[in-house]
Structure 1
Amino acid sequence: AANAALIAGTMAWIGGYAGLPLPFLSSLAAALVAFVVVGTAATRIGRARKGELGVAEPNRGRRSAAHALANAAFGAVAALAVPLAGWPRLVSVAAFATAASDTLATEVGQLGRARPWSLVSGRRVSVGTPGAVSALGVLAGVAGACAVGTVAVALGAIRPSTLPAVVGGSVVGTTVESLLAAAGAPLGHHARNLLNTAVGAGAAIALGGAH
């Protein structure tokens, strides 16, 4: 949470220096905070069960600064690029929504009773296998994206009509990340998270247009 607050504060400082309107920055910062809240909650849910499976996050679920940066960097940069470079608002919101989707899909999906499967082989695999997916995880991921997108809509960051594109983009982003992990792509976890948010944002634009 502290790492995300630092990122949000940096967004506000740079945006204020550049003369960007505070309400605009606040609405996108709120999307970042929403990601942090749902992500933190998902990480702490079922910690005992995750510990038994050997997939619990260390440090009582506290994410490192590198993890926070990998998940939030693209969305934060995109938030500043909206007014400065003419990027669609959808880009930043979709990036944060994709980060939330990926986190919830992983953390909640690990708690399912059924074993997940690999998108590459189509076979059942052990919980914690890189790139493994489950029905519970997919549903949790969609719920996470909806939560972040709904906050953004409520605060006027994006139009209600673009919410489906945000959610759809997040599904595309998390799916690509799972495929890369399952295929053993030579990318570290943080690099995949960063790419995940960028792909999710790009897919949202393709689905919802430049809004």
Structure 2
Amino acid sequence: MEDTLRAASHASRDSKLTYEDKLIDAKVVLERKVRPNYGELLNATGGSRIVILDHKFFEKNEPITNGYYNIGEVNEVSRLVQTLLDKGIPSEDITILTFYEMQRQELLRAMPCKSDIRNVDAFQGRENRVVIISFVRSNTSPKASVGFLNSINRINVALSRAQEFLFIVWNTEFFRRSHLQHFKKLCKLVHHCPKLSDLNL
């Protein structure tokens, strides 16, 4: 991964993470003063800026458009957004990214408030304080078929948009099965990050 991973977890200012055999500087947000309404959230995550929302929900496919969506994941993201709002995080500070237009439409229908929900490709060059990534894909394919998530550039864009907190919403076991090296390395990269289910949020 070529760009800086802008959210850091359990890292010192000198921490480095490797991804695709390239260096990732994971210090950026640690050098930024925490805004008052983020203090409670930072305490709840044990100081981690990356949190995993793991689930076992399967994707669905629309045959006519060949679009993918994951209703179970949509519901998890909706609950997460409500939790963040309850913690005092302003809705304008939250962006939800996904890789599929059908998932974006489902997310728009499910959100508890007006939300910034974007396709990853449309968010390139932009950032927000809190970014939630909805990965969508989750199936029983032996090699964990991920469609155009095989593009490391798309994954890189999604992971590098967060200024304060990054929430990764996916089926961890599914992506661990992937034959793609960038997902194998990404799983290793975030294996130490706390799971939302283990936090008192």
* TM-score, normalised via structure 1 length: 0.27
Q: Higher relative CO (CA 8 A, sep ≥ 6), structure 1 or 2?
A: 2
Whichever structure has more strand as a proportion of its residues is 2
TM-score by length of 2: 0.28
Structure ranking higher in helix proportion: 1
